[in-house]
Amino acid sequence: MTITTHPTDLDRLTETVGFVREQDTASLLPLLLPGLDALELRALVERCRLSHAALLVFPPSPEALRALLTDAGLPAEVTARPSVVVRDRLAARHGRDPAQLDVRILRPRVAGTDRTVELFTLTAPPGSDLTDLAGHERAHDHEAHLALEVEQPDPLVLRGLCALLTRHGAGADGGGYNPHEDGTVLYFTAPTGSKAGYRRLELYAPGEHPDVLAAHLARHRAGRPAETLLRLLTGAWTTQALAVCAELRLPDALDTHTALGAPALARAVGADPDTLACLLRYLAMLDVVAADGDGAGYRLTEIGALLRTDVPASMRPLALLYGGPFYHSFAALGHTVRTGEVAFDHLHGANHFDHFARDPRLAALFDESMAASSRMFEPLTAHPAVTSAGRAPDPGTVVDVAGGNGELLGRLLTAHPGLRGVLLERPHAVEAARRSLEAAGHGDRCTYVAGDFADVPAGGDLYLLSRILHDWDDDRCREILRHCARAMPAHADLLVVERLLPTDDSPSLATAWDLHMRCNVGGRERHADHYARLLADAGLTLVDTASLPLDATVLHARRAGSPVPGQATHSGGC
C-alpha cells in the first residue's frame, strides 16, 4: 500500500526543520525583536533558549504522519500527547466543538541540535469535514511560531520577560496551561518589522504559573471585549455544570485511562444520554474530561479526578456547596452591594452557620467542604512553630480553635507524634471531629471542647485559627483574637491561615473570596497589614508570614513582648 502525504505539509515541515537546524538563540533574537540593546539581549539569552519552531499539519492517517516525519528527516517514533491550547484555538477560530478536534503534539528532535520541531497534528482523512479547516490553516499558518523556553522559571522572571517582549512591540496572543505535559504557554504576535520569518512567538515555561498566565490572557482579551464579556456572563453555567457533574457522581463512573461513551455513562449515573453527551462536551472544554478521537468516549482528567468521592480531600463537597446553597444566595448579591447586608441572611433569616446547623445534611456538607481545601495544610506540618512544639521535652499541645472536622489537627498529629491536640468546636461539629480523629488513630492524643470562642482552652503551646477570621467583621475578629491571647501562655505561638488580598491588582483567589464572604457569610478577606492591626489590637504581634497552596498564607503571631521564636520553652498540656 502506498502512503501519501499532503505535499504542502511535507514542504512546510522540511522548511521548518532547515530553519531550526540553522538558527541559534543569540543570532535569532535581534531579528525577532528589532531594537533590542545589548543588555536586553544578554538578559534574554541568559534566561531562555530557542527551543523549537512549530507547525500544524493534517495527515490523512497515523501511517501518513510517520511517513511525513521520515521524509522530512525526523524520527518517526515520537510520543504524542493531547494539545489543549491549540485545540481550543482551532475550535474558537472555526466555530467547532473542541471535543471533536483531537489535536496532538509531538516534538521530534532535529539531528545535530538540542532543538526540536513542535508538530501539532490533526488527522484529516480525505473527504472529511476537516478538509476546509485544513486548507485554511495550511494557507495561513496560524499556529506556526518560534518558541523560547524559559529555564528555571519563577513568576518574577516570567513577568519581566513578558514586559520586555511587550516593550519591543510583541503583543499578547493567548496561551494556556497543558496539564498533559505540565507546561505553561504564553503566545505573542511578533512586532512589526520582525525579520525572523515568523509572525508568532511562544514563551514556554515548565510547570504551572496561573497568575502570570491570567495576566497575559487578560492583556490578550483586552482587544476582544465583546467575546470576553460573553464568556464572563456565562460563568454561572460553568458552576452548575461542575455541580451537576459532582451530583451525578460522574467522575466516579469515569476512568482516567479507558474512554467511556455517553450511553454507557448515562446508564451508570441515571441520566439522559443525549443531554449527558452535551454536558460532557462542555466539561471537555473545561478540561474536566478529555474526549478521545471523535468524542465517542471520554476519560477523566487530573482536574476532574478531584471531584471523585474516593480521593483524599475530594473537592466534590465544594462543587455541591458552591453550586447549591451559596449559588442560590449569590443570586442576591445585588442586595449585599446596595445595603451592605449579607444576602444569605436576607434570604434565609439566619446566618449560614445557624442555617446549616439546623440541617444535618447541610452541616455535614459544609464540614466536608472545609476539608476539601486541606491541600493548603501540608506545608504547615513543617512550620517552625509546629516543629518547635513537636520537639518539646514534654508533649506539646496544639489547640485548634473552631477546627471543623479535625483535618488540620490530624495532619499535625500524624507528622509530629510528640504533639497532643485539643479541638474547640460547636457541639455537632465536635462529634464529627471526634469520629474523624479516632478513625485516624489519634483518639488517645486528643481532647474535645464543645463551645464558642469564649471557651478557648488555656495553656496550649500552639494555637490555630484556620480560615476563621475571614468569617467575621473587624470587631468580632478582635474579640476572637483577644480570647486566644488570654488563653496563650507567654511562650505560645498562634498560626492564622487566611487568603490575603494582594497589595496591587494582581489576580488572586482572595479577591473573589472577598465578594463571596460579604455576600454569603458576612465576613471579608483582608490585607496582611490589616491582620497585623487586628492582632496588635488584641495584644499580639505578627512575627512573619509564609505562602501556602491554594493562594493561602499562614500568619505567625505571638503575644506582645514574648520571647524571640526559637528560644521558647514549652510547659506542655492544657
295, pLDDT greater than 90: no
E strand residue ranges, 179-295: 183-189, 200-206, 289-292
Report which of 20, 36, 39 is spatially closest to residue 147, judged by C-alpha positions: 20
Question: What pLDDT, on the 0 to 100 scale, is given for residue 570?
Answer: 33
Q: Where do the domains of the chain lie, and which CATH numbers do they carry?
A: 7-224 (3.10.180.10), 234-311 (1.10.10.10), 326-369 (no CATH), 373-559 (3.40.50.150)
Q: Rounded to whole angstroms, how far apart are CA atoms 158 and 212? A: 7
CB-based burial of residue 164 (10 Å sphere; 0-12 exposed, 13-18 middle, 19+ buried)? Answer: middle
| Per-residue pLDDT reduced to its tens digit, 442-480 | 989 999 999 999 999 999 999 999 999 999 999 999 999
- Looking at residue 566, its pLDDT comes to 46
Please give the grid coordinates belonging to residue 45: 539569552
Sorting pLDDT into bands at 50, 70 and 90, what band is 85? confident
Q: Is the pLDDT of residue 6 over 70?
A: no
Residue 563: predicted pLDDT: 64
Query: What pLDDT is stored for residue 292 in this prediction?
Result: 76
More confident residue, 232 or 205: 205
What average pLDDT score do residues 507-517 get? 89
CA angle, 501 as apex, 499 and 507 as ends, to 5°? 100
pLDDT confidence band for 259 (50 / 70 / 90): confident
DSSP category for residue 521: I
Q: Report the predicted TM-score, pTM, of the whole model to 2 decimal places.
A: 0.64
Give percent of the chain with pLDDT exceeding 90. Answer: 52
pLDDT band (50, 70, 90) for residue 507: confident
CA distance 422 to 401: 8
Band of pLDDT at residue 7, cut at 50, 70 and 90: low
Q: Which residues contact 119 (CB under 8 A, 6 or more apart)?
A: 13, 54, 55, 56, 57, 69, 105, 106, 107, 108
Name residue 555's beta-bridge partners. Answer: 496, 545
Q: At 455, which amino acid appears? A: D
Q: Is the pLDDT of residue 529 over 60?
A: yes
For the segment 377-405, what is each residue's pLDDT rounded down to a tens digit?
888 888 988 988 877 667 799 999 999 88
SS3 string, 60-80, reads: CCHHHHHHHHHHCCCCCCCCC
Rounded CA gap, 445 and 423, in Å?
11
| Confidence check: pLDDT of 144 > 70 | yes
Alpha-carbon dihedral sign for residues 29, 30, 34, 36: positive
pLDDT digits (tens, 9 = 90+) for 11-39: 999 999 999 999 889 989 998 888 888 88
Query: How many helices and strands in the chain, by DSSP H and E?
Result: 26, 17
CA distance 513 to 40: 39
Whether the per-residue pLDDT at 226 is higher than 90: the answer is no
Average of per-residue pLDDT across 417-427: 92
Looking at this protein, which amino acid is placed at residue 74? L
Q: pLDDT (tens digit, 9 = 90+) per residue, 324-341?
A: 999 999 999 999 999 999
> Residue 488 — very low, low, confident or very high, per pLDDT cuts 50/70/90?
very high
Number of other residues whose CB lies within 10 A of the CB of residue 214: 12
Catalytic residue set: 470
pLDDT digits (tens, 9 = 90+) for 148-163: 999 888 888 898 899 8
Find, among 171, 177, 184, 178, the residue nearest to 219 by Cα.
171
d(CA 516, CA 508): 13
Closest CA to 309 of 239, 384, 368, 394: 368
Pick the closest to residue 263 from 288, 282, 280 (CA basis).
280
**What pLDDT sits at residue 574?**
35
From residue 436, give the alpha-carbon distance in Å to each of 337, 361, 407, 439, 568.
39, 17, 8, 5, 32
